[in-house]
Amino acid sequence: MNRTLAVPLLAILLAVAGCKNDFSPQSDLLDLRVLALVASPLDVTPSAGTVTIRPFSYVPPGSPTPLVEWTFCPLSVGAVTAYACAIPACETSSLDPAEHWLRVGSDGTLTASPAAIIDGKCPQLRLAAAQGAFQSVFRFRITIGSETRDAILQLPVWLLPPPSGWEPNLPPVILEVRIGGRPAASPPPLPVNGALPVELIIDPASVQTYVDAAGVAQTETMTGYYYTDAGTFDKGVLTGTDTTSQLQGIGIPATRTSAQVWVVALDLRGGQAVAGPFTVPIGP
């Protein structure tokens, strides 16, 4: 059982759930999107020291190279204020030329040292370290021209070793993705105005239990998100370890010969896993 003094983690993807002016479904990739933020580890302890977070974004073909920014806040005000930093002076940006605790790779992957940031910018927070983990906020921002998308990942940062009996959160494990009854790497054609089932299978053994802030044992809720850049899914979000959504061949331009499909598994505590893109040929 994963025991923690912190509240259950949230992975909040802002402008990822399909809130666009044209009210298109969440699953339809029509413009710049952030699909997932995959962190390792999911609990930043003194023994771990650093955390790596890889962003998965959809950038429309032909777009210029996007601008990427990461920020870190050790303690946020909460969801009501869009996770603004409780102590603004503690917030750190990868675009700060003097910054050396947030390192961003060429693919946008972040490597951060949260404890070093706290000690360097907000040492006063050390006084609260004995109370448990800080629910720290990592914000990913990607910009192309006038389009910007934000994604927030909330992870616990322990400045002191976790208590005895504590177990770390682990990400969901995707066992298999099947498209049209076949392995996703070799799917059958998507019929125009027809449909193909897309099945996401998450390993039930990767579902963990944990104790929430009220001391109540909880079981993770596995959730699958489905995305495509051509056609649409009848259901963009499904709950369970074995879920199926129908990829529908509607609204596809005559010039398209294939669709790209992604699936994302979330445990709703910060753990995420991505499979894809899978190329699905478009048939008659």
For residue 168, tell me if it sits in a domain. Answer: no
pLDDT of residue 23: 62
Cis peptide preceding 277, ω within 30 of 0: yes
Q: What is the mean pLDDT of residues 94-104?
A: 90
Give yes or no: residues 148 and 186 share one domain: no
Give CA–CA dist 84/90, Å, rounded.
11
For residue 255, tell me if it sits in a domain. Answer: yes
Q: What is the mean pLDDT of residues 184-210?
A: 97
Model confidence over 41-76: pLDDT tens digits? Answer: 999 999 888 999 999 999 999 999 999 999 999 998
For residue 165, tell me if it sits in a domain. Answer: no
Give yes or no: residues 12 and 128 share one domain: yes
For residue 134, tell me if it sits in a domain. Answer: yes
Last residue of a domain, one of 106, 124, 157: 157
Confirm if 84 and 77 have CB atoms less than 8 A apart: yes
Percentages (nearest 5) of helix, strand, coil residues in the chain: 10, 45, 50
Give yes or no: residues 147 and 181 share one domain: no
| Structural domain range at position 242 | 174-281
Give yes or no: residues 222 and 255 share one domain: yes
Share of the chain above pLDDT 70, in %: 92
**Number of domains within the chain:** 2
88-92, 170-174, 199-203, 208-212: range with lowest mean pLDDT: 208-212
User: How many whole angstroms from its chain centre is CA 28?
Assistant: 17
Give CA–CA dist 263/179, Å, rounded.
11
Give yes or no: residues 128 and 83 share one domain: yes
List CB contacts of 151: < 8 A, sequence separation 6 or more.
12, 13, 14, 16, 34, 37, 55, 139, 140, 141
Give yes or no: residues 54 and 147 share one domain: yes
Confirm if 220 and 269 have CB atoms less than 8 A apart: yes
Given a cut of 90, is residue 208 above it in pLDDT?
yes
Given a cut of 60, is residue 7 above it in pLDDT?
no
1-15, 131-145, 156-170, 268-282: range with lowest mean pLDDT: 1-15
Given a cut of 90, is residue 104 above it in pLDDT?
yes
For residue 269, tell me if it sits in a domain. Answer: yes
